[in-house]
Protein backbone atom coordinates (compact mmCIF):
# COMPACT_ATOMS: atom_id res chain seq x y z
CA UNK A 1 0.00 0.00 0.00
CA UNK A 2 1.44 3.35 -0.93
CA UNK A 3 1.59 6.17 1.60
CA UNK A 4 -1.13 8.28 -0.06
CA UNK A 5 -3.60 5.38 0.06
CA UNK A 6 -2.64 4.77 3.67
CA UNK A 7 -3.16 8.42 4.61
CA UNK A 8 -6.61 8.39 3.02
CA UNK A 9 -7.55 5.08 4.66
CA UNK A 10 -6.63 6.15 8.20
CA UNK A 11 -8.08 9.70 8.16
CA UNK A 12 -8.66 11.49 10.59
CA UNK A 13 -5.51 9.85 12.03
CA UNK A 14 -2.45 11.25 10.29
CA UNK A 15 0.90 9.71 9.40
CA UNK A 16 4.16 11.46 10.33
CA UNK A 17 7.59 10.28 9.21
CA UNK A 18 10.65 11.01 11.33
CA UNK A 19 14.31 10.26 10.77
CA UNK A 20 14.37 6.92 12.63
CA UNK A 21 10.71 6.23 13.29
CA UNK A 22 7.15 6.91 12.19
CA UNK A 23 4.15 8.01 14.15
CA UNK A 24 0.44 8.22 13.68
CA UNK A 25 -1.51 10.91 15.48
CA UNK A 26 -5.03 12.17 16.03
CA UNK A 27 -6.19 15.60 17.15
CA UNK A 28 -8.71 14.59 19.77
CA UNK A 29 -12.23 15.91 20.04
CA UNK A 30 -13.01 15.56 16.34
CA UNK A 31 -13.50 11.82 15.94
CA UNK A 32 -15.60 9.24 17.78
CA UNK A 33 -16.23 11.45 20.80
CA UNK A 34 -19.35 9.39 21.59
CA UNK A 35 -17.12 6.45 22.56
CA UNK A 36 -15.76 8.39 25.51
CA UNK A 37 -19.02 10.11 26.44
CA UNK A 38 -20.38 6.70 27.43
CA UNK A 39 -17.97 6.68 30.41
CA UNK A 40 -17.78 10.41 31.07
CA UNK A 41 -18.97 10.00 34.68
CA UNK A 42 -15.87 7.86 35.33
CA UNK A 43 -13.63 10.71 34.20
CA UNK A 44 -13.03 9.86 30.54
CA UNK A 45 -12.83 13.01 28.42
CA UNK A 46 -11.71 11.64 25.07
CA UNK A 47 -8.26 13.20 25.42
CA UNK A 48 -5.02 11.73 24.10
CA UNK A 49 -4.50 9.65 27.24
CA UNK A 50 -8.00 8.14 26.93
CA UNK A 51 -7.30 7.26 23.30
CA UNK A 52 -4.01 5.64 24.36
CA UNK A 53 -5.87 3.57 26.99
CA UNK A 54 -8.32 2.42 24.32
CA UNK A 55 -5.51 1.67 21.85
CA UNK A 56 -3.66 -0.31 24.53
CA UNK A 57 -6.68 -2.58 25.12
CA UNK A 58 -7.00 -2.93 21.34
CA UNK A 59 -3.35 -4.04 21.05
CA UNK A 60 -3.60 -6.48 23.96
CA UNK A 61 -6.73 -8.15 22.61
CA UNK A 62 -6.53 -7.76 18.82
CA UNK A 63 -2.83 -7.36 17.93
CA UNK A 64 -0.76 -8.79 20.82
CA UNK A 65 2.18 -9.38 18.47
CA UNK A 66 2.59 -5.58 18.19
CA UNK A 67 2.61 -4.76 21.93
CA UNK A 68 6.40 -4.47 22.16
CA UNK A 69 6.71 -2.72 18.78
CA UNK A 70 4.05 0.03 18.87
CA UNK A 71 4.43 2.63 21.64
CA UNK A 72 2.20 5.51 22.73
CA UNK A 73 3.09 9.10 23.55
CA UNK A 74 -0.23 10.89 24.17
CA UNK A 75 -0.83 14.48 25.20
CA UNK A 76 -4.01 16.14 26.38
CA UNK A 77 -5.02 17.28 22.90
CA UNK A 78 -3.38 14.56 20.81
CA UNK A 79 -3.19 10.79 20.58
CA UNK A 80 0.11 9.55 19.21
CA UNK A 81 1.42 6.06 18.50
CA UNK A 82 4.91 5.49 17.14
CA UNK A 83 7.34 2.78 16.13
CA UNK A 84 10.67 2.30 14.42
CA UNK A 85 8.96 -0.54 12.50
CA UNK A 86 7.01 1.14 9.68
CA UNK A 87 5.08 -1.99 8.67
CA UNK A 88 4.05 -2.73 12.26
CA UNK A 89 2.69 0.79 12.71
CA UNK A 90 0.81 0.53 9.41
CA UNK A 91 -0.71 -2.79 10.54
CA UNK A 92 -1.69 -1.23 13.87
CA UNK A 93 -3.32 1.92 12.54
CA UNK A 94 -5.19 0.23 9.70
CA UNK A 95 -6.71 -2.33 12.06
CA UNK A 96 -7.28 0.22 14.87
CA UNK A 97 -9.15 2.54 12.47
CA UNK A 98 -11.27 -0.41 11.30
CA UNK A 99 -12.04 -1.21 14.94
CA UNK A 100 -13.02 2.42 15.59
CA UNK A 101 -15.51 2.17 12.73
CA UNK A 102 -17.04 -0.99 14.23
CA UNK A 103 -19.34 0.50 16.89
CA UNK A 104 -19.94 -2.74 18.76
CA UNK A 105 -16.27 -3.79 18.82
CA UNK A 106 -14.91 -0.40 19.87
CA UNK A 107 -17.46 -0.03 22.69
CA UNK A 108 -16.59 -3.53 23.89
CA UNK A 109 -12.85 -2.76 23.88
CA UNK A 110 -13.43 0.58 25.58
CA UNK A 111 -15.39 -1.12 28.38
CA UNK A 112 -12.02 -2.52 29.54
CA UNK A 113 -9.97 0.66 29.09
CA UNK A 114 -8.62 2.21 32.29
CA UNK A 115 -8.14 5.87 33.12
CA UNK A 116 -4.51 6.88 32.83
Question: What are 3-60's pLDDT values in tens digits?
Answer: 899 999 999 999 999 999 999 999 999 899 999 999 999 999 999 999 999 999 999 9
Q: What 8-state DSSP symbol labels residue 83?
A: E
Q: Is the pLDDT of residue 68 over 80?
A: yes
Q: Give me the residue spans of the domains in the chain.
A: 3-110
Q: Which pTM was predicted? A: 0.95
User: Are 30 and 91 contacting, i.e. CB atoms less than 8 angstroms apart?
Assistant: no
Helices (H), 1-116: 3-10, 33-37, 48-62, 86-101, 103-110
Amino acid sequence: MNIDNLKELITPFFWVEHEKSVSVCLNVGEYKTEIFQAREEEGFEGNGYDWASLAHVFLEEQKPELIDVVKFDPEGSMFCAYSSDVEALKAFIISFKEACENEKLIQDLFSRAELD
